[in-house]
Structure 1
Amino acid sequence: MKKSSVFVTWLTCFVLGLFSSAHIVYATKPSKDEPVRIVSLDGTVSEILCDLGLQSHLIGVDVTSTYPESLQKLPKVGHNRTISAEGVISLKPTLVLTTQNAGTKPEVIEQIKSAGIKVISFQQEYSVAGAKKLIQDVATTCQVGSKAKPLIKKLDTDVAQVKKATNSPKVLFIYARGTGTMMVSGRGTQVDKMIELAGGVNATPDFDNYKPLTAEALVTANPDVILLFDSGLESLGGTAGLLKVQGVAQTNAGKNSRIIEMDGHLLTGFSPRLGKALQELAQKIAQKPKA
């Protein structure tokens, strides 16, 4: 075999390896005539793109892309778990970015790819190191790798300044969309990791992911603090509405009105604002009950 043929074969295998193992490829560098048109199917990826100065290339986002507020002006392609391929394709993107944890159905991703659109799905680990890696991966993919360094440095600085709760409060996270949809968070979720990083203890560590909320589980867990998304607490009619849910008033959190709320994306995104999110959570769970 000629040396040139051997080199071509090696290069082909190397490139295919990049696709299969790292899930990262380099996007076509924007030109004046044909700029890259990006659709993001993950709120954290959208936030990172904006922080990297690439918002002008975003032409559509999913509904979890709520920060910065300027993203609200962009067309929405639905929730990342219920995305329709047609809606994405209609925007005529040249690049679609998401994460493997976003929950977009594999068949939808394949439909988008079959339309000739490049789709990149990043791995995301729910940790400080994972947040920094995702920033770097997005920046490298979009050929602005050097812009990741200041973002990562600021994230490190913010996290280092977090004052963790020192009293190890038991925190129960409830995902709510009205009283008809109420779930509690177990091991391995974003909220579980955030509670740990903020100095708290997950009140329901005996199962993975989420399970339906029951009065019995509430009493058994007996959390010191109950945590919800701000939108979830609103859907229940505020703190007064939550206290009417069976079992809540019998917990230490209910007795002491230790009900706290946070913006959903800030709490669970593991975005460049991770340090800010941890500081807010740590302060809220560390507050002593009112006398």
Structure 2
Amino acid sequence: MKRILGALVLALVLAAPARAELKVTDDRGVTVTLPQSPRRIVSLLPSLTETVCELGECGRLVGVDRYSNYPASVLALPRVGGGIDPNIEAVVALKPDVVLMATSSRGAERLESLGVKVLAMEPRTAADVPRVMEKLGQLLQVPDAQRIWRAINAGVAAAAQSLPPAARGARVYFEVSRGPYAAGPGSFIGDVLQRLGARNIITPEMGPFPRINPEFVVKADPDLILIGDRNADGLEQRPGWAKLRAVREKRICVFDAAQSDVLVRPGPRMAEAARLLAGCLAAKAGK
């Protein structure tokens, strides 16, 4: 009897399909192969952190970069430096199955040389966002990751519908960070602005997030300036900016740190970003 049972068990094992490897191709064109969906993940980009959590898999995160601060649960996780310059030793010590990071990060090659799997993704345009969400859904084996993008689209559409006609058509300048770096029309921020009826002073050929000469803004003379409070001090002292219509008429929307995080992260909170931008346009452009 034992011999028969043993033979049956062996037959069942041999008949069971082999667990298929999981393969995901990142934004570098590198195909990352994993034996199964990762259980231990380090995320070094806030938008990727937020998407993992929105997909219901926050529990797989074992470490994040210093800027990942949403949802609140990730604040308890170990911090492993910046996304661009992570602490390699700290990342390796967490024994991740995979590390999620930006393509612009300098840590990918070093981590890979130490045997750590790296998936590099960096959404910059509106088309990038659902593509990256789909990749993360594939990695985490979460069905219908596109539900997040559908919710974002619905939220942006609702924000656009809430705007009065007088708030549409304003020529806007959105400063992302010091440099200054601006959000161009091809960026995910520029796409939301366009859907809200705003006109970007940055031209498409300048790229999604170009570094610009401040004189460019002076010549363009936007109707409205959108900027984070980290960069807003001293606008009038920038050469020629005191003469800008937006500065003279105080048509400037200044966003605090928490609001800026929402606005510059191409992730699940983009509908919230649209509502923030719509509020700015209604308050300042609709005067």
Q: What's the TM-score once normalised by structure 2's chain length?
A: 0.75
Q: Quote how far apart the aligned CAs of 1:170 are.
A: 1.1
- 1:161 matches 2:162: no
Corresponding residue of 1:10: none
Task: State how far apart, in whole Å, the 2-side matches of 1:277 and 1:172 are.
Answer: 16
Corresponding residue of 2:141: 143
Q: How has the CA–CA distance of structure 1 residues 109 and 227 changed in structure 2, closer, same or farther, with 3 Å as cutoff?
A: same
- 1:276 matches 2:272: yes
Corresponding residue of 1:170: 171
Corresponding residue of 1:267: 263
Corresponding residue of 1:81: 84
Corresponding residue of 2:231: 232
Q: Quote how far apart the aligned CAs of 1:39 are.
A: 0.5
For the 8 Å contact 2:24–2:138, the answer to whether it is kept is no
Aligned partner of residue 60 in structure 1, secondary structure: strand
- 1:210 matches 2:207: no
For the 8 Å contact 1:27–1:142, the answer to whether it is kept is no
For the 8 Å contact 2:252–2:284, the answer to whether it is kept is no
- Cα root mean square deviation, aligned: 3.1
Percent identity over the alignment is: 27
For the 8 Å contact 2:156–2:192, the answer to whether it is kept is no
Letter in 2 for 1:249: A
Corresponding residue of 2:118: 119
For the 8 Å contact 1:23–1:122, the answer to whether it is kept is no
Letter in 2 for 1:49: V
Letter in 1 for 2:241: V
Q: What's the TM-score once normalised by structure 1's chain length?
A: 0.74
For the 8 Å contact 2:253–2:284, the answer to whether it is kept is no
Q: How has the CA–CA distance of structure 1 residues 18 and 136 changed in structure 2, closer, same or farther, with 3 Å as cutoff?
A: closer
For the 8 Å contact 1:26–1:140, the answer to whether it is kept is no
Aligned partner of residue 81 in structure 1, secondary structure: coil
* CA deviation map 1:18-55 (0-9, x unaligned): 6885846556246xxxxx21101111110011112221
Corresponding residue of 1:199: 197
Q: How has the CA–CA distance of structure 1 residues 18 and 183 changed in structure 2, closer, same or farther, with 3 Å as cutoff?
A: closer
For the 8 Å contact 1:198–1:282, the answer to whether it is kept is yes
Q: Quote how far apart the aligned CAs of 1:254 are.
A: 0.4
Question: Structure 2 stretches of 5 or more lacking a match?
Answer: 1-20
Q: How many residues align?
A: 257
Letter in 2 for 1:75: P
Aligned partner of residue 53 in structure 1, secondary structure: coil
For the 8 Å contact 1:162–1:278, the answer to whether it is kept is yes
- 1:253 matches 2:249: no
Letter in 2 for 1:207: M
Letter in 2 for 1:88: V
Q: Quote how far apart the aligned CAs of 1:200 are.
A: 1.2
Letter in 1 for 2:235: L
